[in-house]
Chain A
Amino acid sequence: MIDVQNLTKRYGEVTAVRGISFTASPGQVTGFLGPNGAGKTTTMRILTGFTPPTSGTAKVAGYDVFDQSMEVRKRVGYLPENVPLYRDMTARGYLMYLGEIRGVRNLRRKADEVLERVGLANRAESRIRTLSKGMRQRVGLAQALLHDPEVLILDEPTIGLDPYQVLELRALVRELGRDHTLLFSTHILSEAEQVCDRVVIINQGQIVAQGSPAELRQELERGGRVLVRVDAPPASVVPVLQGLPGAGSVDVQFDNVVVTPSSPDIDPRPEIARAIVQQGWNLIELRPVAVNLEEIFLELTRQEAAQTDDAQAYATETETAAS
């Protein structure tokens, strides 16, 4: 369980994280999604007790990250960005070292177990220097798993891996998410969509949206654009649809017609279906234009930019659009 309330982190003049609040539940993969420099790493460093927050609170596994830092650290497994490792140590030696500091019981057996779990059992005695990037990433993950933590925090674990390794790692993250509270950051949208049960989108240190990928999609699809396919030339379809109440603009995309409703609250589909049937055409397809996380993300971060540029103008604009 991770519970973040109004967390803020300032570095002198720069505010990296501005009053964010979110929770991550056990048995779920929570994706922390945002462009580079959005404040993901800073937030994770606060959650792992590496750096203290400027204000606000964060509880990890029921303990405050600042006041009960040692308790938090005992219960968190952390894979930092870029996976810093001792290159001269063997994979097992590295785990033994960290395990000794942590006071892990049955350390030798435990180290072999996690190496097995991340698929490195056959490279246990190899020096980390000689391991590939993907293998190093897995040593880092093994280190995070060594003490059976309740909470796992992984900072961009798939960065710099080849596509095959990325797939493997995503599968492992999903699997680990079942019995851990797992917070995982990424700037790759499709990755968040595939791996996460919940997504928290962060931009410029603020949370711009959170929910399951499906919820986020629904939110943006509601009153969104509708794609229409009819077995008639689009040129003759457009005027008909333009005449419908609630149809804002009608565009042609290849053989399809895309209708954007005049207000996001209007679902134009019933009207469109009726009109087409009345014309005696065959309706082949009528569906919302698929919105993926990428579009949601771009949409939200664009809104964010608009707000910071000129919040007033943006507010007026949306009001006008809604009425």
Chain B
Amino acid sequence: MRAIFAVFKREVGLYFRSPIAYAIAFALLLFLGVLFNGYVVQANSRFPADPTFAPSLLTFLTFLIAPLLTMRLLAEESREGTLEVLMTLPMNESAFIIGKFLAAWFYYTMLLLVSAIYYLILTQIGVPDQGAAFGAYFGAWLYGGAVLAVSMIWSAITEDQVVAAFLGAATILVLYLADVAAIWIAGQGTTSSATADFVRELGLPAHYDATLARGIVRAEDILYFVFMMIGALFITTRIVETRRWRA
């Protein structure tokens, strides 16, 4: 615990001092702000403004945000050789990796909290659906944790941050596009619909856009994200361990 906290504290500090993290926050908020403005104008007195707009958009953008936040975490330590010192401290690999992951998730949570301003604006100009808002923000929080954990795997595999970011983005997009793949499989009509459903359930949208973002909080969706985090962190730990065995 002590080690997790020490690693977490240092990494959070680095995020708040890193120009990349600020650039991400700036780009994200600018993007959300512009789109939100357009959306509110469009919705104006025609249909009730949807409070899930900002968090849903944020989850879509994680394919860009998450890899940029996680690419550095392990690749840099490995390339600089600082991993060697850390791995000879009385600390498990898992503590080190969990500390780093929590720091990335913490920064993401900050971004999500800042985007809550759009919900507050909506409460001033209308009556947004509070259930949907809760589901969407809570879901976006879990969603972010899951994709951060997944893209962190690549940072453990390669020492090259650009490669790690690129592969992380690709992996998240694949998970995002499972829905499209499922539709395509169903359209072929050659296999049973069970296959299409299975592929769909593997993807991210089936557990967020279709449920949480509409205010439907289901245990299976929460477990999907939680297991994805645990699974990805476990894989990352094993990769770091294996690298050490070969060192």
Contact = CB atoms under 8 A, between A and B. Distances in A.
A163 interface: no
A82 interface: yes
Given A45-B84, A76-B88, A103-B2, 19 more contacts: A45-B247, A48-B88, A49-B87, A49-B88, A51-B245, A80-B84, A80-B85, A82-B81, A84-B82, A84-B85, A86-B82, A97-B6, A98-B85, A100-B3, A100-B9, A101-B6, A101-B89, A102-B90, A143-B85
Contacts of A88: 14
Contacts of A159: none
11 contacts: A70-B90, A73-B88, A80-B85, A84-B83, A86-B82, A87-B80, A97-B6, A97-B10, A98-B89, A101-B2, A101-B89
Nearest to A76: B88
A100 B55 CA distance: 36
A11 interface: yes
Contacts of B88: 48-50, 73, 76, 78
Nearest to A89: B10
Nearest to A100: B6
B244 interface: yes
A143 B86 CA distance: 11
A50 B247 contact: yes
Kindly state the interface size class of chain B when it binds its partner: 20 to 34
Contacts, number: 62
A45 B89 CA distance: 12
Interface string B71-101: 0000000001111111111110000000000
Q: Identify whether the interface residues of B are mostly helix, strand, loop, or mixed.
A: helix
B140 interface: no
Contact of B90 (A74, A84, A87, A97): A74
Contacts of B85: 78, 80, 84, 98, 143
B3 A101 contact: yes
Contacts of B58: none
Given A100-B6, A103-B2, A51 B247 contact: yes
B21 to A, nearest CB: 14
Contacts of A45: 84, 247
Nearest to A11: B246
Interface string A166-200: 00000000000000000000000000000000000
A45 B88 CA distance: 9
A22 to B, nearest CB: 20
A57 to B, nearest CB: 17
Contacts of A52: 245
A125 B89 CA distance: 23
Q: Which 9 A/B pairs are nearest by Cβ-Cβ distance? A: A84-B81, A100-B6, A73-B90, A48-B88, A84-B82, A101-B6, A101-B3, A74-B90, A51-B247
B7 interface: yes
Interface string B1-45: 011011101100010000000000000000000000000000000
A230 interface: no
A145 to B, nearest CB: 13
A11 B246 CA distance: 7
A85 interface: yes
Interface string A2-13: 000000000100
A203 B247 CA distance: 20
A97 B85 CA distance: 12
B84 A101 contact: no
Interface string A65-85: 000001001101010101011
B3 A50 contact: no
B127 to A, nearest CB: 48
Contacts of A73: 88-90
